[in-house]
Amino acid sequence: MPNLLCPAGHVIDLSVTPTPGERVYLPAAEWDDLVRDLARAALKTGQDEQLIAEAISDALAGRTRSFYECPVCGRLVFPDETPPLGCEPVPYPEADR
């Protein structure tokens, strides 16, 4: 498995499974389709919890994409976007008092 380079030049090692700092996301426009796929997957498998879990996992894996938090600088790297995106970590603003 290749490495991934964050925008600051740090190497994110993708050879470890699960990759530390890996997250998944879903385009919001695909939400309804995903829910439909999950319902269908659960209905097809009957009552076996393990089979339902596997079907749901397969449906999620087919619709979600991964992004990675750089372990050095905390940037978020989205390799599946075109072009690949790298986002700086942004601190939460101070709460108004």
Distance in angstroms (rounded) separating the CA atoms of residues 60 and 65: 9
Whether the CB-CB separation of 55 and 62 falls below 8 Å is answered with: no
Under 8 Å CB-to-CB from 26, ≥6 apart: which residues?
34, 63, 64, 65
Binding to Zn ion, residues 51-80 (CB under 5 A): 70, 72-73, 75
**Residue 85, interface with Zn ion (CB under 5 A)?**
no
Site string for Zn ion, 16-55 (x = CB under 5 A): ----------------------------------------
Closest CA to 66 of 10, 31, 17, 32: 17
Amino acid present at 80: D
**Residue 11, interface with Zn ion (CB under 5 A)?**
no
**Residue 5, interface with Zn ion (CB under 5 A)?**
no
CB of 76 to Zn ion, least distance (A): 10
Task: List interacting residues with Zn ion (CB under 5 A).
Answer: 6, 8, 10, 70, 72-73, 75
